[in-house]
Homo-oligomer: A and B are copies of this chain.
Amino acid sequence: MNDETLTTATDWVARGDSVALATVVRTYRSAPRPIGSVFAVSSSGEMAGSVSGGCVEGDIYGAAQAMFADNTSAPRLIHYGISDDLALEVGLACGGELWVSLDHFRARPVLRRGAIATIFNGDQNGEGLVFDADSGALTGTLAGDLRTIAEQTIADAVAREESIALDLEGELVLFVESIHPAPRVIVVGAVDTAEALCRMTKTLGWRTAIVDPRAKFATPERIPSADVILTSWPDKAYPELALEAADHLVVLTHDPKIDDPAISLALNLDVGYVGALGSRRTQEKRNARLRESGNTDEQIGRIYGPVGLDIGAHSPAETAVAILAEIIGYRSGRGGQPLKHTTGRIHPSEETAS
C-alpha cells in the first residue's frame, strides 16, 4: 500500500507538483495504521494513502497546503490524541493516539533491507541516516550524540524488522523506519498441508514459495495460494529463490530423497527456521541420516521437528496454523504457551506513551 502511495507521489512530482508526505512515526494503543504508513498530498489537491482510519487526514491535508504556501517549512511532527466519542465514530478503539511526520516528499533511498533514521525537532530537525544492511553502507548527515543513538537504534530496528520511535531530551524524536522484504516461507513438498500453509501465510502479507521436483504435485491447481512454484529439486530451487538465512523453510514431503537434501542444504545456508514434518520416529531416523551425511549435532539441533506447535492439529488447515504459529513465535523468540499461563509482555515490542 505504501509502495503505491510513493509511486503516485513520484508521479505527482514528475509532472511538476509539490508533494507533502505524512508518515506514521509512532502509535499508542489502538491506532488504525501501523508505524511507517504514509499519506501523500499534492499541491493540486490530490490525496493518496492513509495514516489513520480517515479521522486525521483532513487536518494533515490542511497542514500540507500551509506547507506548500510556505516554501521554507522544515519537517513537522504532529500529535493526534483521539477522544473516546470520536473514536467510536471513526473506528478507533478508545484513546488511540498517533504521531505523524509531515515533510516535503523526496525520492527515498532504494533499500532491500536496512533502515532510515530521521530526527524531528531541535537543531538537526529533518537530518537523518540511511543504513543498507545488504552492503553495510551507512550514509547521512546526522551528527554528534544523536548519530550514535541513531546508529544503535538502526541496529535494533534491522534486527527486529520493526520501525522504532524514541523520545529524546528537549522534545527530540528519533524515528527509525525498518525496511525489509516481507517474511518468506519456503515449503518443500506440494502436499495438501502446503496449500493451507500458503493460504494462511499470505493472510499475514508474507511471501510463499513451493519447491517440489514431482511435476504431478507442484501445480498451481493444487497450490493456488503459492506466490512461486518451482518444479525442481532443492539444489536447483534454492539458488533460484535466493534462499537466505532470513527465510523460513518447511519440509513436508515425507520422502527422504527430497526432505534430506532440502534440510541439509538449508542448514548449511544457516536458514534460521527449518521445520520438518513427520513422527518422532521419522525425526530420529532422519537426524541419523543427516548426521551420517556430515551435518553437525548443532545443525541438527536447530531443526524444528516435528514441525509446529503442540496444539493437537489434525487436518491440513489445523497443521498449517500450528506451523505458522511456530514460525511467528520463532521470529519473536516466544514459547507458544497460552498467554494465560505466562507472564510478561504480550507483544515483542509495544509502543507506550511517554
Chain A interface (Cβ within 8 Å of chain B)? 30, 32, 34, 88-91, 93-94, 162, 191-192, 196, 199-200, 203-205, 214, 216-217, 222, 253-255, 279-280, 303-315, 317-318, 320-322, 324-326, 328-329, 331-340, 342-343, 346-349
Q: Give Cα distance in the complex from A348 to B311, angstroms.
A: 9
**Chain B residues near A342 (CB, 8 Å)?**
310
**Chain B residues near A317 (CB, 8 Å)?**
203-205
Q: Give Cα distance in the complex from A216 to B85, angstroms.
A: 13
Whether B337 pairs with A337 at a CB distance below 8 angstroms is yes
Q: Give Cα distance in the complex from A335 to B317, angstroms.
A: 19
**Chain B residues near A339 (CB, 8 Å)?**
304-310, 322
Name which of A204, A255, A306 has the most chain B CB atoms within 10 A of its CB: A204
Whether B321 pairs with A91 at a CB distance below 8 angstroms is no
Question: A313 is contacted by which of B307, B328, B335 (Cβ under 8 Å)?
Answer: B328
Number of copies: 2
**Chain B residues near A312 (CB, 8 Å)?**
328-329, 331-334, 347-348
Name which of A280, A305, A339, A346 has the most chain B CB atoms within 10 A of its CB: A339
Whether B348 pairs with A334 at a CB distance below 8 angstroms is no
17 CB contacts below 8 A, A to B, read A30-B254, A88-B216, A93-B253, A94-B254, A199-B203, A204-B317, A205-B317, A280-B343, A304-B339, A307-B339, A309-B309, A309-B325, A309-B337, A311-B329, A313-B346, A322-B325, A335-B337
Nearest chain B CB to A94's CB is how many angstroms away?
Answer: 6
Q: Give Cα distance in the complex from A91 to B44, angstroms.
A: 58
Q: Provided the pairs A32-B192, A328-B322, A340-B305 are in contact, do residues A313 and B347 lie with their beta carbons within 8 angstroms?
A: yes
Q: Provided the pairs A306-B339, A339-B308 are in contact, do residues A321 and B204 lie with their beta carbons within 8 angstroms?
A: yes
Nearest chain B CB to A283's CB is how many angstroms away?
Answer: 9
Q: Give Cα distance in the complex from A346 to B277, angstroms.
A: 11
Name which of A255, A309, A331, A337 has the most chain B CB atoms within 10 A of its CB: A309
Whether A311 pairs with B338 at a CB distance below 8 angstroms is no
**Chain B residues near A314 (CB, 8 Å)?**
162, 332, 347-349
Q: Which residue of B lies closest to A334 (CB)?
A: B312
Question: A306 is contacted by which of B90, B91, B332, B346 (Cβ under 8 Å)?
Answer: B346
Nearest chain B CB to A136's CB is how many angstroms away?
Answer: 27
